[in-house]
């Protein structure tokens, strides 16, 4: 596979292009480097609202007309809002790529934020927050986010009910004006187009789009609180989330952390599932995952159990987290490594997935990283590396813990 070409365009856009001559479709991802961390403290939820409405009308088209234009080329707008960026992804045939980017540039550069669309977006966000009250696991994740990441990185995408009611259509416009510009954009493209073709199209579409000076690429410190808190809620289940400090995707130990998480939670043969659920029958669900704000990382382990088994489940999870650094086997490491490599290869068959990897590289490394280099780092990790990481980041590390349900952990 060819290496991606990385360029800082004169218009201010940071661009990475992976040419794949044998693919039929072109995948693209535009990341505007603004997210929930950039919201005013009294307007939480605004970044998500702007992402949801930026394509609902432009100076030249209504929202419906814009969607019709995308439909004509078999493409569309798929978007999301995160902590430090907002993304707009698409897939189209190469002959329509120029038009696809023209339409994306239109709504990113000249949105009108119709009042009705703003009102609908606010109401939908309000309903999402209300529905969260019926999602105990989602609530537990929201609480651990604030506790483990701090008041800035721990903000929830949908904001808070009390701040949503204060947001006006003028706030939509103000946030867009302050945070959407070419200098805050990273664009990734993968497919059967040459880097020079893509560069010319992106340069033409985003020249003159606000400040072209690169911005919003700084790391924001995680404010980790090593405390245990309980949130009382009358539910049938008890939810437990344990957070530990991890490492950034750009850290030398990132591949080691991935292997450790694979051993603990990489499938039905992983330790947490086998020991906590299959052998002891303590939980409905148990698992682990990672989260990576730019320049940092966290490890999470969660479970859903009965209130009566809450403390026993928590103690068993801690026991397994401590034990992995003591009796880890080479077979477990190789099984976890194989699982990661297989998923890696499968993603490589999907053009959209390759584009997403490229976008992540720009976000976390500031440059494309070849798939061969990533696999090489993974294959270099030894069992002793995993044990060392487990000892420093899991067994002897401070924990931030949240429980949610009718019963708190026993002292």
Range of the domain at 140: 5-206
Prediction pTM value? 0.95
66 and 106 fall within a common domain: yes
Q: Are residue 242 and residue 325 in the same domain, yes or no?
A: yes
Check whether residue 34 and residue 126 sit in a common domain: yes
Long-range contacts, 123-126 (Cβ 8 Å, 24+)? 124/52, 125/45, 125/48, 125/49, 125/158, 125/159, 125/164, 126/161, 126/164
pLDDT at residue number 396: 83
Of 152, 172, 206, which closes a domain?
Answer: 206
46 located within any domain: yes
Residue 111 three-state SS: strand
Query: Is 150 among the domain residues?
Result: yes
Residues 90 and 185 in one domain: yes
Q: What is the mean pLDDT of each run of 10 residues along the chain (411 residues)?
A: 93 98 96 98 98 98 97 94 98 98 98 98 97 94 97 97 96 98 98 98 98 96 97 94 98 98 93 95 96 97 96 96 95 96 90 96 97 96 98 94 94 60
Q: What is the DSSP string of 323-365?
A: HHHHH--HHHHHHHHHHHHHHHHHHHT-HHHHHHHHHHHHHHT
> Is the domain of 41 the same as that of 146?
yes
Split into its structural domains, the chain has a count of 2
* pLDDT score of 411: 60
Residue 217 is assigned to a structural domain of this protein: no
Same-domain check for residues 192 and 243: no
The answer on 280 and 131 residing in a single domain is no
User: Same domain for 198 and 264?
Assistant: no
pLDDT at 231: 96
Closest CA to 23 of 89, 80, 97, 79: 97
**Residue 219 resides in a domain:** no
Pair (162, 239) in one structural domain: no
Closest CA to 366 of 9, 16, 71: 16
Q: Which of 173, 206, 239 is the last residue of a domain?
A: 206
In a domain, 178, yes or no: yes
Residue 25 lies in a domain: yes
Q: CA-to-CA distance for 114 and 116, rounded, in angstroms?
A: 6
Same domain, 200 and 54: yes
411 lies in a domain? no
Report the CATH number that the domain containing residue 162 is assigned in CATH.
3.30.830.10
Name the domain boundary from 206, 236, 261: 206
Is residue 141 located within the same domain as residue 242? no
Identify whether 221 is part of a domain. no
Residues 99 and 232 occupy one common structural domain? no
CA distances for 137 relative to 123, 124, 151, 237, 315, angstroms: 23, 20, 20, 10, 19
């Amino acid at each position: 596979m060819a290496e991606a070409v990385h360029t800082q365009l004169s218009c201010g856009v940071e661009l990475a292009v992976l040419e794949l001559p044998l693919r039929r479709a072109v995948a693209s991802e535009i990341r505007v480097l603004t997210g929930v961390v950039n919201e005013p403290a009294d307007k939480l939820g605004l970044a998500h609202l702007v992402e949801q409405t930026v394509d609902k009308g432009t100076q030249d088209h209504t929202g419906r007309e814009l969607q019709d234009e995308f439909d004509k080329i078999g493409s569309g707008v798929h978007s999301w809002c995160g902590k430090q960026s907002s993304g707009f992804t698409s897939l189209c045939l190469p002959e329509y790529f120029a038009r696809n980017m023209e339409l994306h540039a239109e709504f990113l550069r000249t949105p009108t934020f119709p009042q009705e669309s703003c009102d609908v977006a606010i109401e939908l966000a309000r309903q999402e927050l209300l529905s969260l009250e019926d999602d105990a696991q989602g609530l537990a994740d929201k609480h651990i986010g604030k506790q483990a990441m701090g008041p800035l990185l721990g903000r929830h995408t949908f904001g808070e009910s009390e701040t949503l009611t204060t947001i006006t259509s003028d706030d939509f416009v103000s946030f867009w004006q302050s945070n959407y510009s070419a200098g805050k954009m990273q664009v990734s493209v993968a497919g059967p187009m040459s880097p020079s073709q893509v560069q010319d199209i992106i340069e033409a579409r985003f020249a003159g789009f606000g400040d072209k000076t690169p911005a919003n690429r700084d790391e924001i410190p995680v404010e980790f609180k090593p405390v245990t808190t309980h949130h009382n809620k009358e539910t049938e289940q008890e939810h437990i989330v344990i957070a530990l400090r991890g490492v950034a995707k750009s850290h030398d130990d990132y591949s080691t952390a991935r292997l450790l998480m694979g051993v603990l939670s990489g499938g039905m043969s992983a330790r947490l599932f086998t020991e906590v659920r299959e052998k002891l029958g303590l939980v409905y669900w148990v698992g682990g995952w990672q989260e990576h704000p730019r320049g940092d990382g966290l490890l999470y382990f969660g479970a859903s159990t009965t209130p009566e088994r809450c403390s026993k489940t928590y103690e068993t999870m801690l026991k397994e987290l401590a034990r992995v650094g003591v009796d880890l086997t080479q077979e477990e490491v190789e099984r976890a490594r194989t699982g990661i490599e297989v998923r890696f290869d499968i993603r490589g068959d999907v053009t959209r997935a390759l584009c997403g990897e490229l976008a992540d590289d720009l976000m976390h490394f500031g440059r494309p990283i070849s798939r061969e280099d990533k696999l090489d780092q993974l294959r270099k990790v030894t069992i002793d590396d995993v044990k060392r990481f487990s000892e420093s980041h899991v067994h002897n590390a401070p924990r931030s813990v949240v429980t949610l349900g009718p019963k708190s952990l026993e002292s």
